[in-house]
Structure 1
Amino acid sequence: MIEKPTRIRHWVLFVVCLVYLITYLDRVAISVAAPLMMKDFDINKLEWGLVLSVFSWTYASFQIPIGMLSDKIGARKVLAGIVVFWSAMTAATAMAWNFISLVVIRLLFGVGEAGAFPTATRAFSHWMPSTERGFAQGFTHGAARFGGAVTPVIVAAIMAQWGWQSVFYIFSILGLVWAGVWYYWYRDKPNEFKERWGTINQAEIDLINGGKSAKKAVPKLPFKTLLKSKNMWFLSLSYPTYCYTIWIFMTWMPAYLVEARGFSIIKMGIFASLPLLAGTIGDTLGGWLSDKLWRKTGRGKFSRRVVAMTGMLVAAAFMIPAALTQSAYLAVFFLACSLFGLEMAVGVYWAVSLDVGHEYAGTVSGMMNTVGNIGSALSPLVFGAVLQFTGSWVYPFLVASSILVVGALLWLKVDPELSVVDELGLNRDEGEVKTTVS
């Protein structure tokens, strides 16, 4: 009788989803608390803009270093450590006393959150078989997007009862509890988990490893050598086009609905969440569909490309009628369709960073996210500049639509079945060295 695989990997996925949700609770909370915090600290809009933007500086800068650290010492220690650190900074936000202190705290908060996604991706490298990586990455990013959608409601309720400071104290406790559970329960490899807890069977370990030896030696990959990977570069250069567009929804959507579409503040709060909820569905569907196609066809290149490219082109297409329609409600509907398509791609991006990274998934995903955050940083500025120059809300969306088409075309150069180890000939070089020594 064939032994049925256990499902410990799905529990790993669930626990990682929780930390993705926590990242967005902690990240978005300050935007919701903005009116009260600006009043208490006597901060003007320009100063508040700096408070919000400095997070991106350190968030982008520390992606690669923390990703490399997780590749070196494992996701268990690194992820627990950075969650404790950023949870401490979340609590410190409630203790800030002026503008400068807020800037410093947000800089440090960005350092902590920078490692979340690369390190979680590194965790999946030993726990998710290739045919489940798209679903895993889509589901986790869906949890993050859901966290962003529900944060305003949660924060508003807490502030109404106990004040804005209590928001950051409560959210910091959530992070600390998660970090404790993760460090106690999680193990970097299924075999280590089996030795510690004994609840995973060999059938699941074999499924995860795909029939490959789990004890295979890992060749060294210097960062300078990694930079020669064309596969990684095409993936990384496509990702900013996704990041550019998603940050339009994260930053300009409320103002667009109020100023361009005439929604009241209350209606804006309701309708601004609809595209994010549609994106949550797209996250999970895109990853699941990519995995299903891979299992059905056995063609990883086709399965990853077709879902990512289709999603981005759908997003680009729906942005145009969203910008041009005279109906405010149709605009929201088209934007929801656009974000649904866009989010179909994100799980595939992160799945491919696993596909090509393997033992270096933390570094590769850190590189992709670092380059991607260039798009995130430029998005609010370019959108605003185009809006200011043209005086029309239509043209900024047309620019984003065009950028997405470029990002989709770059996928034609991405090969999910070509690992950086094979592309750079690291296994070959290792074999030559061994032959020479013997």
Structure 2
Amino acid sequence: MQHSTQTSPADAATPKGAAVGTAVRTKARYQILALLAVGTMINYLDRTVLGIAAPQLTKELGINAALMGLLFSVFSWSYVASQIPGGLFLDRFGSKLTYFLSMTFWSLCTLAQGTVHGIGALFAFRLGLGVSEAPCFPTNSRVVATWFPQSERAMATGTYTVGEYIGLAFFSPFLFMLMGAFGWRSLFYVVGGVGLVFGVIWWIFYREPRDHPSANQAELDYIEAGGGLTHRKKDADAAAAPAKGGFEWRTIGRLLKHRQLTGICLGQFAGNSTLLFFLTWFPTYLATERHMAWLKIGFFAIMPFIAASVGVMFGGIFSDWLLRRGTSPNVARKLPIIAGLLLASTIILANYVESNVVVIVILSVAFFAQGMAALGWTLVSDIAPDGLLGVTGGIFNFAANLAGIVTPLVVGFIVAATGSFVGALVFIGAIALIGALSYIFIVGDIKRIVLAD
């Protein structure tokens, strides 16, 4: 059996359920996972609350639809541009400080949006929000790689990822009621304030595994046997910095020469395209293409998000179950993603049915499948070179979130040119198929990338 810097299938299967040694294994890693899940939920509420506030905000500030579209997109421009710098910051300063600063500044940018009286300030704070949120998902991936054995990483990734959907599905009605009672500015104050409080909670309770007071040696051995605890110094954040001469920009090109990274980047772009359709154009689709009343939209819109939440958890649990049963990482990690992307392409079928109920079922299945495919961050943990998880995650998130720029614009162009969403759904379905083909033919073996000196 091969033993090298990457985690072998044998290593992945080692922590199967019994504790290493005789001590009862603690579960401090689940406390850390809860922090990630709540942080991710707040992250997505902060970036999407502008859409909820838009009807009142546009009237008060005199913003037309074209300008509002620009405000929606500007977040993605700064978010994408900051991915690699955010990853470098993470590799240099570690998870605890990076996540604390990220959440604090993005929450301040959210809160500040409630104070604006003109388009310039709102534009600036949306830019700031994108920059501040950029290190969030690379940090999530690094924490999972540190705290969880390989056999539990898909479950962990699915658990924090589901926060994206839970927040939007279950808190949006509360936010609509809040806006009705206190106005659109209250949304930014409440969501931003919650983020500031949680930033303090993160700073107090997050620890690296060997410094966590609730993690005993049995749990540490269990994590390490499965490929976690990659940072071995007492000061894990200091150990996160690359050991040989620091970061060089040519490292990005060297990483992208590896098919594992380029393949998962293309696949994640495809999955995010489906996600972005639901985050941006879905309510408009229901109102204009399906002619649903707003009350009915509020009732129906929650269903695909619930389905996506289930899909995220199912994909992660299924992947880890396959790995624990001895299935190779290639199959265990890639099968749920490929199946999810193929199933997401069925969104095209909504063009050919009349019943609104059937349309919602089709869209829910497609969003469930997109949730299944949201395991890409698990693969980042599996393939990133030692000491470069932050920058690898930054490259991955950069590529993935290009969908935040491309998809809303392409869908908008198609709808404007044709007066219909038929072509837009075909575009979303075709991109999902391309993502599945990327995982089938490009990604190759799931193994840790080793960069030659």
Give the TM-score normalised by structure 1: 0.91
Residues 97 and 387 of structure 1, relative CA distance in 2, 3 Å threshold:
closer
Whether 1:207 and 2:213 are equivalent positions in the alignment is no
Aligned counterpart for 1:36 among listed residues 52, 56, 60:
56
3-state SS of 1:227 partner: helix
Partner of residue 377, structure 2: 350
Residues 311 and 344, structure 1, Cα contact 8 Å, conserved in 2: yes
What's 1:303 paired with?
A: 332
Q: Indicate the residue corresponding to 1:336 in structure 2.
A: 364
* RMSD across aligned positions (CA): 1.8
Distance 1:126 1:398 in 2: 40
Matched, 1:369 2:397: yes
Q: Deviations over 1:321-372 (max 9, x none)?
A: 22211111101101100110111011x2010011112542222121111011
| Residue 409 (1) aligns with residue 437 (2) | yes
Q: Contact 2:142–2:390 (CA<8 Å) still a contact in 1?
A: yes
Alignment of 1:17 with 2:37, yes or no, is yes
Inter-partner Cα distance in structure 1 for 2:69 and 2:379: 34
Aligned counterpart, 2:10 = none
Letter in 1 for 2:329: G
Q: CA deviation at 1:233?
A: 1.5
Which of 156, 181, 189 does residue 136 from structure 1 map onto? 156
Partner of 1:262: 291
**Superposition deviation, residue 219 in structure 1:** 5.0
SS of corresponding position for 2:325: helix
Aligned 8 A contact 1:122 1:360 in 2: no
Q: Which amino acid aligns with 1:12?
A: I
Map of 1:306-325 to 2, 5 A cutoff? 306-316=335-345, 318-325=346-353
| Cα distance in 2, alignment partners of residues 264 and 182 from structure 1 | 41
Q: Which residue of 2 aligns with 1:432?
A: none
Report if aligned partners of 1:66, 1:119 keep a CA contact under 8 Å in 2.
no
2: CA distance between counterparts of 1:67 and 1:367? 8
Distance 1:20 1:10, change over 3 A: same
Deviation at 1:136? 1.0
Tell me the distance in 1 between the aligned counterparts of 2:359 and 2:25. 47
- 2:254 is matched with which residue? 228
- Does the 8 A contact of 1:80 with 1:179 survive in 2? yes
Amino acid at match of 1:153: P
Give the letter aligned to residue 201 of structure 1. N
Q: 1:312·1:341 contact (CA, 8 Å) conserved in 2?
A: yes
State the distance in 2 between where 1:92 and 1:256 align. 31
What per-residue deviation string (whole Å, max 9, x for no partner) do you get for residues 280-313 of structure 1? 1101110111111111124101111111101110
Higher helix share: 1
- 2:168 — aligned with what? 148
Counterpart amino acid of residue 156 in structure 1: F
Shift of 1:414: 2.0
8 Å CA contact 2:149–2:226 kept in 1: the answer is: no
The answer to whether 1:87 aligns with 2:113 is: no
1:113-128 map, 5 Å: 113-128=133-148
TM-score normalised by length of structure 2:
0.88
- Displacement of 1:4 after TM fit? 2.3
Contact kept in structure 1, 2:41 and 2:167, CA below 8 Å: yes
Read off the aligned partner of 2:165 and give its amino acid letter: R
TM alignment of 1:377-388, pairs within 5 A? 377-388=405-416
Q: Is the 8 A contact 1:352 1:416 kept in 2?
A: no
Distance in 2 (CA, whole Å) between partners of 1:161 and 1:375 is: 35
Q: Distance between the aligned counterparts of 2:366 and 2:278, measured in 1?
A: 10
Offset of residue 226 of structure 1: 4.0
Residue 2 of structure 1: SS of its match in structure 2?
coil
Deviation per residue, 1:181-234 (Å, 9 max, x gap): 1111212x21122xxx2x211111111112668538865464423422312122
Quote the Cα distance in structure 1 between the aligned partners of 2:379 and 2:387.
Answer: 13
Q: In the alignment, is residue 276 of structure 1 matched against residue 305 of structure 2?
A: yes
Is the 1:240–1:376 contact (alpha carbons within 8 Å) kept by the matching residues of 2? no
* Contact 1:122–1:359 under 8 Å retained in 2: no
1:181 aligned to 201, 214, 233, which one? Answer: 201
Residue 184 of structure 2 is matched in structure 1 by 164
Does the CA-based 8 Å contact 2:151-2:226 persist in structure 1? no
* Partner amino acid, structure 2, of 1:224: R
Verify the 8 A CA contact 1:324 1:394 in the aligned structure 2: no
**Contact 1:71/1:122 (<8 A) preserved:** no
Identity of aligned residues (%): 31
Distance 1:78 1:416, change over 3 A: farther
Q: Report the Cα offset of residue 128 of structure 1.
A: 1.3
Q: CA deviation at 1:161?
A: 2.4
Deviation at 1:152, TM superposition (A): 2.3
The answer for the alignment partner of 2:73 in structure 1 is 53
Q: Distance in 2 between matches of 1:260 and 1:211?
A: 49
- Counterpart residue identity of residue 389, structure 2: A
* Equivalent pairs, count: 417
Of the three residues 203, 209, 214, the one matched with 1:190 is 209
Does the CA contact (< 8 Å) of 1:356 and 1:416 recur in 2? no
Q: Is the 8 A contact 2:106 2:133 kept in 1?
A: yes
> Structure 1 segments of 4 or more deviating over 4 A?
211-214, 216-221
Name 1:250's counterpart in structure 2: 279
Q: Distance in 2 between matches of 1:135 and 1:143?
A: 13
Gaps spanning 5+ residues in structure 1: where? 430-438
Aligned residue type for 1:157: M
Matched, 1:290 2:319: yes
| Structure 2 residue matching 1:170: 3-state secondary structure | helix
Residue 100 (structure 1) aligns with: 120
Alpha-carbon distance in 2 for matches of 1:415, 1:176: 42
